[in-house]
């Protein structure tokens, strides 16, 4: 759906579908350059990273393997619960592999710092992070994202895979959710 379908629920559209695709194209070019001559496994963090994975993978002009993990760090609200659990593990043995974790947003950084050390304990050749969005708090965590689409503010955003109570994931654009929706 388009922003017009949920107009009353959004304070503003932050990034349009076109802007997102263009930015992912730039990140894909960086990734191609950095992993030239190396095999690459991209790992999407379900469910939010589905759209980013689909478009980033297709923007890559090279072979890439895709695998998925599901972790839970949030309840059903807008604040992190602080607890990370693996709901679905990788199907791939990543020892000796170059792994790029793909996520849609880093908020506290809790999920990805936990996930990075979990994957690093499996003896991969490397583990890096690509995230479409990054919030300010993430700067305080020991999690370094090598590829970042945009740094944004602290507001809660939805669309392009990002949900509020499982809705808005299928919104083409990314927008700031109006407080009246969750308060
Ligand atoms: P973190 O562990 O605090 O970095 O949270 C990461 C996860 O929280 C993301 O992968 C999202 O699933 C969720 N999240 C954080 N901020 C937002 C937001 O603004 N909108 C929707 N989901 C969010
Ligand atoms: Mg996520």
Which residues lie near ion ligand 2 (Cβ < 5 Å)?
Answer: 45, 48
Please give the pLDDT value at position 80. Answer: 61
Task: Report the separation in Å between the CA atom of 67 and the middle of ligand 2, taken as the mean of its atom positions.
Answer: 15
Please give the pLDDT value at position 110. Answer: 87
User: Which of 179, 174, 152, 147 has its CA nearest to residue 163?
Assistant: 174
- Residue with structure tokens 């170059």? 98
pTM of the entire predicted model = 0.93
User: Which of 135, 163, 162 has its CA nearest to residue 149?
Assistant: 135
Q: Are strands 157-158 and 41-46 parallel, antiparallel or unpaired?
A: unpaired
Bigger pLDDT: 13 or 77? 13
Reported as a single tens digit per residue, the pLDDT across 99-155 is 999 999 999 888 899 999 999 999 999 999 999 999 988 766 778 999 999 999 999
> Of 9, 55, 103, 107, which residue is the catalytic one?
107
User: Which of 38, 102, 30 has its CA nearest to residue 60?
Assistant: 30
Bigger pLDDT: 74 or 125? 125
Output b/e per residue, 42-59; b: 16+ Cβ within 10 A: bbbbebbbbbbbebbbeb
Kindly tell me if the per-residue pLDDT of 82 is higher than 90. Answer: no
Reported as a single tens digit per residue, the pLDDT across 48-58 is 999 999 999 99
Please give the pLDDT value at position 77. Answer: 57
pLDDT mean across residues, the chain:
93
Please give the pLDDT value at position 84. Answer: 85
User: Nearest-5° angle of CA 13, CA 100, CA 73?
Assistant: 60
**Which of 74, 141, 157, 168 maximizes ligand 1 atoms within 8 Å of its Cβ, making it the mutation to test the pocket?**
74
Please give the pLDDT value at position 76. Answer: 54
């Amino acid at each position: 759906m388009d922003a017009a379908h949920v107009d009353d629920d959004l304070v503003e559209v932050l990034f349009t579908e076109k802007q997102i695709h263009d930015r992912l194209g730039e990140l894909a070019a960086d990734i191609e350059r950095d992993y030239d001559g190396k095999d690459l496994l991209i790992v999407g963090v379900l469910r939010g990273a589905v759209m980013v994975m689909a478009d980033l993978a297709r923007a890559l002009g090279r072979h890439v393997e895709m695998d998925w993990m599901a972790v839970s760090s949030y309840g059903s609200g807008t604040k992190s619960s602080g607890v990370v659990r693996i709901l679905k593990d990788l199907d791939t043995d990543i020892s000796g592999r170059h792994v790029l974790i793909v996520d849609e947003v880093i908020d506290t950084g809790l999920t990805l710092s936990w996930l990075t050390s979990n994957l690093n304990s499996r003896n991969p050749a490397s583990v890096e992070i690509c995230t479409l969005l990054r919030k300010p708090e993430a700067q305080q965590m020991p999690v370094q994202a090598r590829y970042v689409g945009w740094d944004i503010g602290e507001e809660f955003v939805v669309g392009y895979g990002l949900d509020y109570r499982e809705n808005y994931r299928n919104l083409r654009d990314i927008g700031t959710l109006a407080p009246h929706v969750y308060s």
